[in-house]
């Protein structure tokens, strides 16, 4: 027999897909409501009994819910308190909670496992007869109109029993606006305050709302900026185009509620830490095998006039590729993964650290580590970084891509720009050895098959040269991790013979991550917003609707798609 959680998920998924709303045993959610108002009416659905069954004690659920006094704005995190009472004579087993929005005008989005053992994706919790459970989960709200409310349903699948309630959420009225403004400055004297002449002109400032709306402007000659008539919501502020290498402090999210509290922002710029602190990292061995535990040496040097304190390692920011594991473990990386280290002015310090190979290392033929070092691992701007890699040999793989002669200078391959018959190879950066060779086909297509897995540089032979040889990387991988669809520019050049070795040229900086999968690389960008005034750009986000039979978690995730 199918488990209750599976049947519960199927019923909910079917109802949502058919547009009929949640079934009697599932929940659909609306907006969070104020706790100051009394809980809404609780309804219960009696358990179905067989005509021949002997009546006996049964569970009877009651549910109430509340939120704090508002008013709230879109993007606020709102705690929802739910009380579930079993007023019946039998224990209620497999109790789960649903709390989400039934429409598109309001959303209440909680993180995974917010309800603990009452999560609808699990087996549910038990509430003994006559007892209650009080739960709290915090969700991010979104609102574009309609009546903001959260619907909460507590349910037991067998015997069927449910109770529901609906809680209004007090919101600031739609149409409430505010002003955001301030000054961006480069703190030349390091006193932490903006002095005359320190304003930074031409800095791009963008505000992003929870619904994807963006407001953009540029600082004036005195470093000042202003946004007016900004709809009430919680905004993130980002910067770009900062002149002179200044690194701007991170700005916390801004809650615009019409009170004008964000009209005097000060966004401080400091010199990048990398101007004073340098970093290197190296594996102690050039080659590893699956199961090995790599060791590395990390060296930090302070070239500045003052001590640098609280320096921590932050590694694997992209989260892509065969990066070393275990770098965040203080048992392996010491204080670099803990409270941080101090490097005195003029001093150099070295640590020996360790990690583990990722499971995919032999599929890629390598392991690498890429870290930056500074006091705030969550930020990282302007911090010194270091890169190292080592081989994990033994397997073979493939990769394909193109070379092209960019005759029109648009930095992309057009029809007719891929020369046929060009002799090419891939070179081991560490040794300079040519490990595989082939010839371009139609439209400059290149296929490397049954080559040793690893990261290589592309090399041409004959009357062609690679335009950017230092970054002309080709990743040979197994079929489990395809890295194909790359493209590199070539141009006519002096004849280059194939001697079998072009000389070592180790990779000392993090290379661009090869595109995953078999696809053609494409580029693009968004045109900048106007430099004066306020421009609103609504970024349309296509909703991802994923429905798997019996997967209530995925249905709920779709309904909560605006989670922060």
- Report d(CA 79, CA 115) in Å as an integer: 12
> What dotted CATH number matches 396-518?
2.60.40.10
Total length of the chain: 564
What three-state secondary structure class fits 274?
A: helix
| Residue 69: pLDDT band with limits 50, 70, 90 | very high
pLDDT digits (tens, 9 = 90+) for 199-251: 999 999 999 998 889 999 999 999 999 999 999 999 999 999 999 999 999 99
- Whether the predicted pLDDT of 290 surpasses 90: yes
- Report d(CA 419, CA 466) in Å as an integer: 13
What three-state secondary structure class fits 175?
A: coil
* Other CB atoms within 10 A of residue 541 CB: 10
- Whether the predicted pLDDT of 126 surpasses 70: yes
Q: Which CATH number is 274-391's, of 2.40.240.10, 3.40.50.2300, 3.30.70.270, 2.60.40.10? A: 2.60.40.10
- Percent pLDDT > 90 in the chain is 72
- Report d(CA 120, CA 12) in Å as an integer: 11
The pLDDT of residue 54: 63
Q: Name which of 75-79, 104-108, 212-216, 243-247 the model is least confident about.
A: 104-108
Mean pLDDT computed over 85-103:
90
Q: Name which of 70-79, 383-392, 537-546 the model is least confident about.
A: 537-546
CB contact at 8 A, 444 and 418: yes
| Residue 3: pLDDT band with limits 50, 70, 90 | very low
- Whether the predicted pLDDT of 16 surpasses 60: no
- Partnered with residue 389 across adjacent β-strands are 368
Mean pLDDT computed over 115-139:
95
> What dotted CATH number matches 4-49+58-173+550-559?
2.60.40.10
Please tell me what DSSP assigns to residue 471.
Answer: G
The pLDDT of residue 161: 87
* Other CB atoms within 10 A of residue 75 CB: 24
Structure tokens given for 53? 């069954």
The pLDDT of residue 562: 31
For residue 319, give every residue at least 6 positions away whose Cβ sits within 8 Å of its Cβ, in sequence order, or none: none
- Whether the predicted pLDDT of 81 surpasses 80: yes
Mean pLDDT computed over 150-173:
92
- Whether the predicted pLDDT of 445 surpasses 90: yes
φ, ψ of residue 396 in degrees (nearest 5): -120, 160
pLDDT digits (tens, 9 = 90+) for 495-543: 999 999 999 999 988 887 655 554 333 332 222 222 223 333 333 333 3
Q: Return the residue matching tokens 């009877």.
A: 60
| CA-based max dimension of the chain | 95
pLDDT digits (tens, 9 = 90+) for 20-47: 344 333 333 333 333 333 444 444 444 4
CB contact at 8 A, 374 and 301: no
Q: Return the residue matching tokens 């090399």.
A: 459
| Residue 4: pLDDT band with limits 50, 70, 90 | very low
φ, ψ of residue 114 in degrees (nearest 5): -65, -30
- Whether the predicted pLDDT of 8 surpasses 80: no
**Separation of first and last alpha carbons in the chain:** 37
Query: What ranges in 178-258 are assigned the alpha helix state H?
Result: none
Three-state secondary structure along 93-160?
A: EEEEEEEECCCCCEEEECCCCCCHHHCCCCCCEEECCCCEEEEEEEEEEEECCCCCEEEEEEEECCCC
Q: Return the residue matching tokens 């574009």.
A: 144
The pLDDT of residue 211: 87
Percent of residues in the chain assigned helix, strand, coil, to nearest 5? 10, 40, 50
Q: What's the sign of the alpha-carbon dihedral 124, 125, 128, 134? A: negative
Q: Return the residue matching tokens 């709920």.
A: 556
Q: Return the residue matching tokens 């275990």.
A: 326
Closest CA to 122 of 92, 139, 97: 97
The pLDDT of residue 218: 98
Mean pLDDT computed over 451-474:
96
Tell me which fold the domain 177-271 belongs to: Immunoglobulin-like (2.60.40)
Q: What burial letters (b/e) apply to 457-474, b meaning 16+ CB within 10 Å?
A: bbbbbeebbbbebeebbb
| Residue 560: pLDDT band with limits 50, 70, 90 | very low
Q: Name which of 172-186, 190-204, 449-463, 522-536 the model is least confident about.
A: 522-536
Mean pLDDT over each residue of the chain, to the nearest integer:
84
- Whether the predicted pLDDT of 9 surpasses 80: no
Predicted TM-score (pTM) of this structure:
0.70
- Whether the predicted pLDDT of 366 surpasses 80: yes
φ, ψ of residue 32 in degrees (nearest 5): -65, 150
- What are the E-state strand segments in 477-558? 483-484, 486-496, 517-518, 535-538
The pLDDT of residue 305: 93
Query: Up-side HSE of residue 465: CA atoms within 13 Å toward CB?
Result: 9
- Identical fold for domains 4-49+58-173+550-559 and 274-391, yes or no, is yes
φ, ψ of residue 468 in degrees (nearest 5): -125, 75
What three-state secondary structure class fits 237?
A: strand
- Domain ranges for the chain, please list them: 4-49+58-173+550-559, 177-271, 274-391, 396-518
Element (H, E) at 348: strand 348-354
Mean pLDDT computed over 407-426:
94
- Report d(CA 66, CA 32) in Å as an integer: 8
| Residue 424: pLDDT band with limits 50, 70, 90 | very high
Please tell me what DSSP assigns to residue 163.
Answer: E
The whole-angstrom distance between residue 4's C-alpha and the CA centroid of its chain comes to: 34
- Partnered with residue 452 across adjacent β-strands are 396
| Residue 55: pLDDT band with limits 50, 70, 90 | low
């Amino acid at each position: 027999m199918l488990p209750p959680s599976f049947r519960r998920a199927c019923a909910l998924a079917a109802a949502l897909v058919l547009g009929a709303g949640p079934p009697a045993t599932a929940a659909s959610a609306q907006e969070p409501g104020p706790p100051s108002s009394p809980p809404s009416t609780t309804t219960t659905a009696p358990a179905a009994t067989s005509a021949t069954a002997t009546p006996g004690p049964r569970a009877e659920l009651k549910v109430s819910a509340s939120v704090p006094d508002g008013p709230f704005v879109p993007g606020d995190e709102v705690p929802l308190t739910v009380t579930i009472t079993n007023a019946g004579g039998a224990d209620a087993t497999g109790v789960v909670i649903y709390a989400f929005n039934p429409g598109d005008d309001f959303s209440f989005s909680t993180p995974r496992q917010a309800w603990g053992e009452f999560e609808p994706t699990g087996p549910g919790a038990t509430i003994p007869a006559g007892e209650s459970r009080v739960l709290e989960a915090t969700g991010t709200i979104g609102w574009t109109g309609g009546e903001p409310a959260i619907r909460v349903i507590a349910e037991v699948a067998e015997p069927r029993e449910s109770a529901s309630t609906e809680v209004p959420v007090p919101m600031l009225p739609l149409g409430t606006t505010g002003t955001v403004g301030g000054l961006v400055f480069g703190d030349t004297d390091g006193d932490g305050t903006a002095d005359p002449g320190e304003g930074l002109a031409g800095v791009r400032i963008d505000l992003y709302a929870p619904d994807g709306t963006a407001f953009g402007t540029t600082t004036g000659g005195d470093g000042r900026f202003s946004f007016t008539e900004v709809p009430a919501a919680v905004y993130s502020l980002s910067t770009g185009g900062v002149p002179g290498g200044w690194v701007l402090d991170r700005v916390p999210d801004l809650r615009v509620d019409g009170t004008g509290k964000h009209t005097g922002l000060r966004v401080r710029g400091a010199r990048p830490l990398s101007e004073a602190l340098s970093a290197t990292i190296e594996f102690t061995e050039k080659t590893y095998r699956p199961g090995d535990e790599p060791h590395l040496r990390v060296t930090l040097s302070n070239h500045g006039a003052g001590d640098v304190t609280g320096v921590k390692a932050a590694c694997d920011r992209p989260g892509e590729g065969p990066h070393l594991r275990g770098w965040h473990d203080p048992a392996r990386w010491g204080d670099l993964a803990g409270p941080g280290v101090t490097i005195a002015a003029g001093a150099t310090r070295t640590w020996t650290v360790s990690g583990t190979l990722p499971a995919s290392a032999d599929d890629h033929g390598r392991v690498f580590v890429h870290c930056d070092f500074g006091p705030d691992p969550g930020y990282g701007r302007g911090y010194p970084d270091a890169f190292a890699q080592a081989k994990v040999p033994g397997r073979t793989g493939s990769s394909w891509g193109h070379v092209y002669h960019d005759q029109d200078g648009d930095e992309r391959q057009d029809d007719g720009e891929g020369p046929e018959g060009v002799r090419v190879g891939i070179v081991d950066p560490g040794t300079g050895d040519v490990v595989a060779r082939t010839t371009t086909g139609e439209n400059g297509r290149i296929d490397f098959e049954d080559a040793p897995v690893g990261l290589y540089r592309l090399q041409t032979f004959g009357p062609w040269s690679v335009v950017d040889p230092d970054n002309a990387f080709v990743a040979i991988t197994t079929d489990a991790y395809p890295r194909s669809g790359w493209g590199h520019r070539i141009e006519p050049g002096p004849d280059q013979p194939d001697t079998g070795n072009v000389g070592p040229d180790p990779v000392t900086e993090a290379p661009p991550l090869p595109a995953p999968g078999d696809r053609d690389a494409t580029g693009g960008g968004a045109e900048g917003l106007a430099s004066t005034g306020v421009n609103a750009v609504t970024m349309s986000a296509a909703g991802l609707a994923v429905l798997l039979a019996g997967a209530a978690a995925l249905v709920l995730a779709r309904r909560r798609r605006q989670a922060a």
